[in-house]
Amino acid sequence: MKPVHARISSIAFAAAALALSTHAQAQTAPADAAAPAPAAAPAAEPTPEHSFSFNVGLTSDYRYRGITQSRFKPAVSAGADYAHSSGLYVGTWLTTIKWVKDAGGDAPLEWDVYGGYKGTAGPLGYDVGFLRYNYPSHKLAVSPNTTEIYGALTWNVLTLKYSHSLTNLFGFSDSKNSGYLDLTANFDLGDGWSVAPHVGRQWIRHNSPYSYTDYSVTVNKDFGKGFVASVAVVGTDAKKDLYTTPSGRFSGRTGVVASLKYSF
């Protein structure tokens, strides 16, 4: 997923849609006492104590924090999640990649494992947790395997999140304690449509020339029954001579990414 050497450094963004809640309107009592009372609305289903979900996805270009991880080629993914009614959650996600091979290694897959806790405090939602990025059999001199902790606050349509690396960041030497700060807004347009503008800043400690800002605007359509499609415009201000593919293409260039995800 991420950058390693000056020749093929790659840290990328994958745009994700957050659904906004809808609110049921309260019914008023009938004015005519003799008229039959309306049927009572069905009680809301209680939140299950334990829940499991799964997902599969296809994207035209796997971007992470703005940088292509799949050399501008399609990528497939799959994931599984467990959530407890207390707010605790754990999950895993797997996707195809090309950047490790481009950097001289031998890892065709990225395997992520994460866990955390979500809750609310007044008008704010919060989410804290950890995320481990694994690249099995990578064979690179500096390991790209990365562990981050993160914290996010959500107010209304805005989410501000900070991720902090506890290890070297995606193969950069001496880059422990690097950070990524991002701000995303999520607007519900109705009828399953939403739009999510985003801006983020990646700091790479002791490797400042590789630090950069990424941005995107994602339009999502929820078709129901677990299907969500999205189209995003994604780009960065990364240095072109540092973020390149083996063919010399700028891996952080502005582009359009189309994705389809099925959750069940």
Q: Structural domain boundaries of the chain?
A: 50-263
Question: Which has more pLDDT, 102 or 14?
Answer: 102
Cβ–Cβ under 8 Å, residues 37 and 31: no
- Mean of pLDDT values over 31-38: 39
Least trusted range by pLDDT, from 29-33, 47-51, 62-66: 29-33
The pLDDT of residue 1:
42
Quick one: pLDDT at residue 177? Answer: 98
Domain 50-263 has CATH 3.90.70.10: no
With a cut of 90, say whether residue 13 has pLDDT above it. no
Task: Name 151's bridge partners.
Answer: 128, 162
* Full-model pTM: 0.83
Residue 61 CB coordination number (10 Å): 21
115 vs 83: CA distance, rounded Å: 10
**pLDDT, the chain, mean:** 87
